[in-house]
Structure 1
Amino acid sequence: MTNKKKTVAVLYGGKSTEYEISLLTAFSVINAMNLEHYRVQPVHIQQDGRWIAGPEITKKLEYKDQLLLNENASLESQAEHWLAPSSPVLGNNRPDIVFPLLHGPNGEDGTVQGLFELLNIAYVGSGVAGSAAGMDKVLMKDIFTAHHIPGPGYLSVSRFEWETDAPEVILNVKNTIGYPCFIKPANCGSSVGISQCLSETELSASVTDAFRFDTKVIIEEKIIGREVEVGVIGNHHLSVSVPGEIITQGAAFYDYQSKYVEGKSSLVIPADLPEKVKAELEDVAKRAFRALSLSGLARVDVFVREKDQRVVVNEVNTMPGFTQFSMFPLLWKHTGLPYQQLIERLIDLGIERYNDKQKIQYRIDK
């Protein structure tokens, strides 16, 4: 790294059901960053969509609510700011890179990434297409199917289809997916809106609940097996972490309570898996990462099927939970890459990806 500090704009909050989780992530990441190497500028996206920029962070934060920035710092009031949503004009405060610590829709789904592409600003993580495909569980699984990456059986249902012919959908689930099955909003994370249906009598209520959070729902086959996750980092050359296993305590599946309430689940890192399974897991994780055109980082969630020990991909998360106690950083800690170094590695990967894109030519007369 050069002597000049890199300016990192840390973006957090957002119009998403995962707003609070994003605040926790930002608090943890900012406090882990080496302030001798980076100038850290916080940018808070409120739940109503308003962007608030704060002053440079020069010391560790004491509590999370310090990230709830003052309204007077609104980006919209700074005509020459690097990221005024009403104007693409760039000022002198342009950061070297943006770290978008946003989870769920309106941040992890390619929308914010598209803004950075238009402004030609470097950012951490996957691009527009990869972020969008990684957020939409239906698109993701369609791509996995095309690339022969094994996954649960699934059906996609739009709100229009459900409202116009729910009996046909119910019959289709019975004939193709069966029970038990899982109902999920297509574009949510952190297990928001997910429920397990043991029989047809539970299906209608579960689908209706999922449609509170999205206009498209995915209905998936339940896989009996162990729930395992790995981290992947890289752009062209990929590294895969040791695997970690999720053990839920008294829950039917790894739901929101299991993830964020202490004592509801435990993580076993590294997971005790046969070498053959670990090799297959690493191969499938890399294939899934490349199939979705991801870059920077992702957490790949799989099942190790009980009946034959085969790896089945559940989903990929392009901006996983990122507190120092979250699965993704813990996986890398046990692989030999501590939290602070992981953050620095991801910033470097974002700048590498940006520099690579600068080689693209947009005129044909030169």
Structure 2
Amino acid sequence: MNRTRRTVGLLFGGCSAEHDVSRMSAANILRALDPEKYDIVPIGISRNGHWLLGNAAAPDAKSLEIPSDAADVALLPGRDGDLIVLDATNKTIRLDVVVPVLHGPNGEDGSVQGLLELAGIPYVGSGIMGSAACMDKDVAKRLLRDAGLPVVPFLSVTPGKQVDYQTATETLGTTALFVKPANMGSSVGVSPARSAAEFDKACALAFRYDTKILVERSVAGAREIECSVLEDHTGKLSASPLGEIAPAQSHGFYSYDAKYEDAAGADLRIPAVLAADVASRIGHLAVEAFRVLGCEGLARVDFFVDPADETTIFLNEINTLPGFTAISMYPKLWEAGGLPQRDLMDVLIGHALARHGRKRAVSNA
């Protein structure tokens, strides 16, 4: 069915520790979607997992709010791949495409993507496999390492396979470590550790958010470089100009507070000042990592660059649903590359619809 307007389901909130970041991203995306092209249906997921229709925030609000008095809704597969939203009045709302603005577990990990696949509805971003692989930093780093891409040396730790500070430092070859949950983003649960006491405290914090954590070698004074990768409706991949994040000395690293709580928490430098050949290599590595991990649509790829030798590059991690807040790097890097966020959303929705069409053609062959 050809229509000039599309009905877009905007999923936001969620049950992860990144709930608040999701609501900030969703507010920015809502403003970016062209009202001349799209009818938008906000669907908020509360912290306890209730799905609710509507948005209680003002148009210029920093975050979308989930209405406290809204009734739960049910999502069901409809005819011809439509997702049907059943609300309290039993009316149906057919969605042409979904933008899952959900960061972290229960949204960025393939779970919601599986629901949308079962419903047969187009959605923005990576599919089940790419989402799940990138969400688990342990799995992602193993795949990247096996493909020959440079990753920071790391250890995977579970409650049944713990290591102490001495073992970690001897294995990784440094007394300066970072500890993080394997399945989380936005720097939630991430801590540096330079002593046995700090290490034990950092592990305890990370285990609050996941049953598997990573212990990584700290790259002393590393420059934090980010690249946005975008896939268009034809499958062509493009790398954005690069950006650099310089955290304020008071934070030490790009923590959650530096990202979202402190307006002076970091200096975002776009474009990053790097030699042309180094910038080109980072862009190439970003696209290659995107392919290796089976990403689709969009991803932000984060790197560490050795300040003493910028040819020494480490791939840190990949975010398949990166932040879209007003200060987030993903849309900012594309704006620097000449693609405003309104046009960026058109590309992402165009990719979702085209991919859906290709998959249906294959399944019907």
Separation in structure 2 between the aligned mates of residue 66 and residue 275 of structure 1, nearest angstrom: 40
Question: Is structure 2 residue 267 aligned with structure 1 residue 266?
Answer: yes
Instruction: Structure 1: give runs of 5+ residues left out of the alignment.
Output: 86-90
Aligned-partner residue type, residue 191 of structure 1: S
Superposition map of 1:1-366 within 5 A: 4-54=4-54, 61-63=59-61, 67-76=65-74, 82-83=83-84, 93-162=93-162, 166=163, 169-177=164-172, 178-224=174-220, 225-234=222-231, 236-250=235-249, 251-260=251-260, 261-309=262-310, 310-361=312-363
Separation in structure 1 between the aligned mates of residue 341 and residue 77 of structure 2, nearest angstrom: 36
Cα displacement (A) at 1:34:
1.1
TM-score by length of 2: 0.90
Separation in structure 2 between the aligned mates of residue 196 and residue 125 of structure 1, nearest angstrom: 31
Contact 1:54 1:73 in 2 (8 A): no
Change (3 A) 1:67 1:201: closer
Contact 1:8 1:96 in 2 (8 A): yes
CA deviations over 1:171-221 (Å, ceiling 9, x no partner): 431221132010000011110110001123321111111100000000001
SS at structure 2 position matched to 1:103: coil
TM-score by length of 1: 0.90
Separation in structure 2 between the aligned mates of residue 12 and residue 72 of structure 1, nearest angstrom: 15
SS at structure 1 position matched to 2:289: helix
Separation in structure 1 between the aligned mates of residue 171 and residue 293 of structure 2, nearest angstrom: 26
Separation in structure 2 between the aligned mates of residue 62 and residue 244 of structure 1, nearest angstrom: 27
Cα displacement (A) at 1:343:
1.1
Cα displacement (A) at 1:303:
1.0
Change (3 A) 1:83 1:223: farther
Separation in structure 2 between the aligned mates of residue 206 and residue 145 of structure 1, nearest angstrom: 25
Change (3 A) 1:79 1:37: closer
Aligned to 1:88: none
Separation in structure 2 between the aligned mates of residue 63 and residue 206 of structure 1, nearest angstrom: 34
Change (3 A) 1:218 1:4: same
CA deviations over 1:266-298 (Å, ceiling 9, x no partner): 100001110110111011001100000001000
Aligned-partner residue type, residue 104 of structure 2: G
SS at structure 2 position matched to 1:208: helix
SS at structure 2 position matched to 1:219: strand
Cα displacement (A) at 1:147:
0.5
Aligned-partner residue type, residue 339 of structure 1: Q
Contact 2:75 2:84 in 1 (8 A): no
Which shifted more, 232-241 or 353-362? 353-362
SS at structure 2 position matched to 1:288: helix
Separation in structure 1 between the aligned mates of residue 77 and residue 301 of structure 2, nearest angstrom: 41
User: Identity of paired residues, percent?
Assistant: 38
SS at structure 2 position matched to 1:126: coil
Separation in structure 2 between the aligned mates of residue 77 and residue 143 of structure 1, nearest angstrom: 34
Change (3 A) 1:204 1:357: same
Contact 1:259 1:265 in 2 (8 A): yes
CA deviations over 1:274-325 (Å, ceiling 9, x no partner): 0110111011001100000001000000011234322210001111110232
Contact 2:11 2:99 in 1 (8 A): yes
Cα displacement (A) at 1:77:
9.7
Separation in structure 2 between the aligned mates of residue 279 and residue 323 of structure 1, nearest angstrom: 27
RMSD: 2.5
Aligned-partner residue type, residue 23 of structure 1: R
Contact 2:110 2:128 in 1 (8 A): yes
Aligned-partner residue type, residue 273 of structure 1: L
CA deviations over 1:226-254 (Å, ceiling 9, x no partner): 11001000063111100000111112211
Aligned-partner residue type, residue 245 of structure 2: I
Stretches of 4+ aligned residues off by more than 6 angstroms: 77-81
Separation in structure 2 between the aligned mates of residue 77 and residue 327 of structure 1, nearest angstrom: 32
CA deviations over 1:36-86 (Å, ceiling 9, x no partner): 11010010001100101238x9x972435663225444213999893569x
Change (3 A) 1:66 1:216: closer
Separation in structure 2 between the aligned mates of residue 297 and residue 92 of structure 1, nearest angstrom: 30
